[in-house]
Amino acid sequence: MFTNLINTFVLAWQYTLSHADEFILALREHLFLVTISMIVGILVCVPLGIWTARSKRIATAALNTVNTLRVIPSLAILFLLIPYLGLSSTSALIALIVLALPPILINTDAAFRGISPAILEAARGMGMKPQQILFQIEFPLAAPVILTGIRIAAVEVIASATLAAFVGSGGLGIYITRGFALYDYSILFVGAVPVALLTLFSEGIISGAQKLIQYPQ
Amino acid sequence: MQGIVFDKVSKQYKNAAAPAVNQVSFTVDPGSLVVLLGPSGCGKTTLLKMVNRLFEPSEGTIYLDGVNIRDMEVTALRRQIGYVIQQVGLFPHMTVAENIALIPSLLKWEKPRIQSRVDELLTLIHLDPLEYRDRYPAQLSGGQQQRVGLARALAGDPNVLLMDEPFGAIDAITRASLQQEVMQLQNQLQKTVLFVTHDVEEALLLADKIAILKEGALVQYDTPWNLLTNPADEFVRELINADDRIRQLTVLKAKDVMIKPSHHEQVLKKVQQRTDLRQVLSLLLSSPNAVVAVTDSSGKVVGEISLQQLVLE
Ligand SMILES: Nc1ncnc2c1ncn2[C@@H]1O[C@H](COP(=O)(O)OP(=O)(O)OP(=O)(O)O)[C@@H](O)[C@H]1O
Ligand SMILES: [Mg+2]
């Protein structure tokens, strides 16, 4: 069993070396999908979350929407989009963005909502302008929780970007589908292991950033 | 018109049956400490927050040094008013120094000036700059946090200070020492202070004048001495417990009852203007001629007290 596993790894490594050009392309496609959907997710959800945190009605509407989106499996979204957008990386990107939205929005909303009213009152009372309060007080205080949301989104997006292979937009998923088709675990590993490593890497980077901005509680 | 003037100020909250503040008029003299006193819900916080425009009055006008505060830019107004609240509201992601430096940097002071101001204020509130400058609020005790809150409010050298139950959440012993510090600071700095409390002892101890509020209306505005000796009605009499004479002596100060100095002997025992009357009485009882001299902070004799001044007509 154990030697089998080692063997599979060795085979996977050899496969990677012999398909180096293809692998690097797949990795780049994967990173492209992840980066774009994370950037869009952050650009949409952080401002939206700040807004929802200030208004209860908007918050309920927005959070219900993303929670509904969340229960639809990414694969289903992908297949629903194919008739409209075809087999394209746009379909894959949309499915991934939908996946990235909820954790970032929910955490941004909670982070801003959780800031003590006394702190905000002190800031206003001492004559800070709304923009100064936002950037000098609220953002730094909300950042750790927002980063947690970004971390959760990143983990989901990195894993789910493998689905892009189903719609022909490449990514590390091609090795997973190929491994299944050929019933060859070593090829499957060529996709799965880098995905796992990317996940760990992104978690490491983000928790490092969180440590950096952490203040004594 | 100097200091803070309230002119028929009212505040009606939406959906509230009665106004939270009702036709309140009085003047806070520059350099004096006025306490807003009254039971919970009587409108103290509402009245205070109208001064730095966290709330706007529904009626009436507030003047600061003769200027209608509505005619001032709201952030400019707030930057010249120090604000201290019970929950302190220090910024937890900033060090003590950064918290204190915030208003000076909003006011665009030069870096070196800000730094020396931070150290000066920490020294003033009895926290060693070297030890405390770089700590975070979470690394301070409650009393130390409130001291830093006070230093932060004083940082821009405002003429006016608003304090809303600043020591309400602090244990009795620390509160007493903070009260002493506020008195010392007030002797030194002579700010125009509006101080909210529902602690009668604290009010009598700190106030030059006390504004007593009841259901949004101003019931009496007077010195501690006059409130104790001439309460306007039963409500005031009961609120400040005007009949307990010994208690009065512990909260009233030498300057409340002193008369013009007439004795010139250097042998008189001396007390400070803010020494409480119980200590004065104790000294009087042990002085051969039953007179003590009252001195200002520079040691100059400004008044005297004999037993007669402690007796009510
Ligand atoms: N933001 C608000 N909206 C509506 N009503 C309010 C608001 N703030 C205070 N009130 C009401 O106005 C009245 C006066 O409240 P205020 O906070 O000024 O009292 P207070 O004297 O400071 O009381 P406490 O000693 O408990 O702090 C109360 O009846 C209160 O319920
Ligand atoms: Mg209050």
Please give the pLDDT value at position A87.
77
Please name the residue that has the structure tokens 């304090």: B163
Distance, in Å, from the CA atom of A16 to the CA atom of A10, rounded to the nearest integer, reads: 10
Distance, in Å, from the CA atom of A50 to the CA atom of A139, rounded to the nearest integer, reads: 10
Neighbours of B205 (CB within 10 A): 22
Q: Is the pLDDT of residue B1 over 60?
A: no
Please give the pLDDT value at position B265.
64
Q: Which residue of B has its CA nearest to A117?
A: B89
Distance, in Å, from the CA atom of B179 to the CA atom of B146, rounded to the nearest integer, reads: 12
> Which ligand ends up closest to the CA of B21?
1
The percent of residues above 90 in pLDDT, for chain B, comes to: 67
Q: Tell me which residue in B89, B138, B139 faces A118 most closely, judged by beta carbons.
A: B89
Q: Give the predicted TM-score (pTM) of the model.
A: 0.87
- Which of A120, A126, A135, A217 to probe by mutation at the B interface, max B CB count within 10 Å? A126
Contact state of A141 with B136 under an 8 Å Cβ cutoff: no
Distance, in Å, from the CA atom of B139 to the CA atom of A206, rounded to the nearest integer, reads: 26
A46 touches chain B (CB under 8 A): no
Please give the pLDDT value at position A14.
94
Q: Which two tokens stand for residue A158?
A: 């990195």
Instruction: Report yes or no: B9 and B59 within 8 Å, Cβ to Cβ.
Output: yes
Give the H/E segment covering residue A72: none
Across A29-38, B176-185, B276-285, which has the greatest mean pLDDT? A29-38
HSE-CB of B113 using CA atoms within 13 angstroms: 11
Contact state of A119 with B92 under an 8 Å Cβ cutoff: yes
Q: Measured in Å, how far apart are chain A's first and last C-alpha atoms?
A: 48
Higher pLDDT, B113 or A58: B113
Closest ligand 1 atom to Cα of B44: 21
Neighbours of A131 (CB within 10 A): 8
Whether B39 is in the pocket of ligand 1, judged by its Cβ within 6 Å, is: no
Confidence of residue B243 (pLDDT cuts 50, 70, 90): confident
Instruction: Tell me which architecture the domain covering A16-214 has in CATH.
Output: Orthogonal Bundle (1.10)
Distance, in Å, from the CA atom of A156 to the CA atom of A80, rounded to the nearest integer, reads: 20
Q: Which residue of B has its CA nearest to A216?
A: B138
Whether B198 is in the pocket of ligand 1, judged by its Cβ within 6 Å, is: yes
Residues of B in contact with A122 (CB under 8 A): 83, 85, 88-91, 149
Higher pLDDT, A170 or B130: B130
Distance, in Å, from the CA atom of A152 to the CA atom of B62, rounded to the nearest integer, reads: 52
Q: Which residue of A has its CA nearest to B136?
A: A216
* Residues of B within an 8 Å Cβ radius of A: 52, 54, 74-79, 82-83, 85, 87-93, 102-103, 106, 136, 138-139, 149, 152-153, 162
> Which ligand ends up closest to the CA of B42?
1
Contact state of A141 with B93 under an 8 Å Cβ cutoff: yes
Whose C-alpha lies nearest to ligand 1, atom 17? B45
Distances from the Cα of B141 to the Cαs of B71, B145, B174, in angstroms? 40, 6, 10
Please give the pLDDT value at position B19.
96
- Rounded to the nearest integer, the mean pLDDT of chain B is 92
Closest ligand 1 atom to Cα of B14: 4
Q: Tell me which residue in B75, B79, B85 faces A122 most closely, judged by beta carbons.
A: B85
Q: Is the pLDDT of residue B256 over 90?
A: no
Distance, in Å, from the CA atom of B122 to the CA atom of B140, rounded to the nearest integer, reads: 13
- Render A142-204 in DSSP notation, one character per residue: HHHHHHHHHHHHHHHHHHHGGGGGGGT--STHHHHHHHHHHT-HHHHHHHHHHHHHHHHHHHH
Q: Tell me which residue in B83, B89, B152 faces A119 most closely, judged by beta carbons.
A: B89
Residues of chain A falling short of pLDDT 70: none
Please give the pLDDT value at position A135.
96
Q: What is the pLDDT of residues B7-59, one digit of tens each?
A: 999 999 999 999 999 999 999 999 999 999 999 999 999 999 999 999 999 99
- Render chain B in DSSP notation, one character per residue: --SEEEEEEEE--TT-SS-SEEEEEEEE-TT-EEEEE-STTSSHHHHHHHHTTSS--SEEEEEETTEEGGGS-HHHHHHTEEEEETT----TTS-HHHHHHHHHHHTT--HHHHHHHHHHHHHHTT--HHHHTT--GGGS-HHHHHHHHHHHHHTT--SEEEEESTTTTS-HHHHHHHHHHHHHHHHHH--EEEEEES-HHHHHHH-SEEEEEETTEEEEEE-HHHHHHS-SSHHHHHHTTTT-HHHHHHH-BHHHH-B------TTSEEEETT-BHHHHHHHHHHSTTSEEEEE-TTS-EEEEEEGGGGS--
Residue spans of the domains in chain A: they are: 16-214
Q: Is the pLDDT of residue B153 over 80?
A: yes
Q: Is the pLDDT of residue B313 over 70?
A: no
Confidence of residue B312 (pLDDT cuts 50, 70, 90): low
Average pLDDT over residues B107-134: 95
Beta bridge partners of B193: B33, B161
B15, B44, B55, B197: which to mutate for ligand 1, most atoms within 8 A of CB? B44
The percent of residues above 70 in pLDDT, for chain B, comes to: 98
Distance, in Å, from the CA atom of B258 to the CA atom of B275, rounded to the nearest integer, reads: 11
Give the H/E segment covering residue A44: helix A20-54
Please give the pLDDT value at position B149.
96
Whether B42 is in the pocket of ligand 1, judged by its Cβ within 6 Å, is: yes
Please count the residue pairs, one from chain A and one from chain B, whose beta carbons lie less than 8 angstroms apart: 67
Q: What is the pLDDT of residues B284-303, one digit of tens each?
A: 988 878 889 998 888 888 99
Whether B40 is in the pocket of ligand 1, judged by its Cβ within 6 Å, is: yes
Please give the pLDDT value at position B263.
73
Whether B19 is in the pocket of ligand 1, judged by its Cβ within 6 Å, is: no
Instruction: Report yes or no: B151 and B122 within 8 Å, Cβ to Cβ.
Output: yes
